[in-house]
Amino acid sequence: MNRINKLFADKGSKRLLSIYYTAGYPTLKSTLEIAEALQQAGADFLEIGFPYSDPVADGPVIQHSSEVALRNGMTLSLLFEQLSDLRKSVSIPVLLMGYLNPVLQYGIERFCQACKDVGVDGVIVPDLPLYEYEEFYLPLFEANELINIFLVTPQTSEARIRKIEELSTGFVYLLSSSATTGKNLSVTENTESYFSRIRAMRLKRPVVIGFGISNHDTFIQATDYADGAIVGTAFVRLLGESDYMKRIPQFIQQLTG
């Protein structure tokens, strides 16, 4: 069983926590040591972003981390090289997240094979069209035991959500809003209606909420409606501090309580 599926199958009543960070930030060689520290601190699964020059869905903090990572020399080839020892020290599920352009340049078949080789469990490519995935790339993902995660926004129709559920073998990534990353989660009447609407659909796949989760309160609010929550901007901001490695355990503890 894929590590992602096993994690959700075994979760019980636990509120799962995923942490996103950008490969190659703050330093070119920090990617693996951050993954190890997050696992040790208690994160349930990880999303490692591969940087791109035009991250349109990201706010200024993650945009900045991508810019620095690219200046540092991070590429997909180098990332896979760094992750070659991933499974010697990291046992929790790991996903890669990024935009389609670098994947196309690398080669999708080569990308999927490399993910399998290093032990990556799934990928999130927000700008990969649903139709193209189903029509052209689904067999590649399946052949490499790679889960592809799709995103749902407040504007996503029920028909599209059902199609996403049909094509999903992992979890459904529920964006808390249509804003870019880094906006604080505000559970308004509209947000509650949106979350409740998704819950009422009784999806067969687990649901994870991202965008705007930054502290214990927003983590609890999100996981009242979902199986887990993703923290990105708040953690990437921490990585900009000089003592970030020492502060990772406290950061995770404060989130989960």
Nearest CA among 213, 250, 248 for reference residue 233: 213
Assigned domain for 171 exists: no
Residue 175 is assigned to a structural domain of this protein? no
Answer yes or no: is 5 within a domain: no
Which residues, other chains included, contact 213 with Cβ-Cβ below 8 Å and sequence gap of 6+?
Answer: 176, 185, 219, 222, 229, 230, 231, 232, 234
Catalytic one among 47, 121, 132, 224?
Answer: 47
Task: Look at residue 208 and tell me if it is in a domain.
Answer: no
Q: Coil, helix or strand for 228?
A: strand
Question: Total domain count for the chain?
Answer: 1
User: Does some domain include residue 156?
Assistant: no
Exactly one of 58, 132, 145, 241 is catalytic; which is it? 58
Q: Are 166 and 134 contacting, i.e. CB atoms less than 8 angstroms apart?
A: no
For residue 96, the SS3 value is strand
193: in domain: no
Among 243, 236, 248, which residue's Cα sits nearest to residue 24? 236
pTM: 0.93
Mean pLDDT of the chain: 92
Q: Is residue 3 domain-resident? A: no
Q: Cα–Cα distance between 61 and 69 in angstroms, integer? A: 12
- Residue 32 has a pLDDT of 97
pLDDT by residue (tens digit) across 89-125?
999 999 999 999 999 999 999 999 999 999 999 999 9
Q: Is 47 a catalytic residue?
A: yes
CATH of the domain at 57: 3.20.20.70
User: Which residues constitute the domain of residue 54?
Assistant: 15-149+214-256
**pLDDT tens-digit map of 209-227:** 998 899 999 999 999 999 9
Does residue 194 belong to any structural domain of this protein?
no
Residue 243 is among the residues annotated as catalytic for this protein: no
pLDDT band at 54 (very low <50, low <70, confident <90, very high): confident
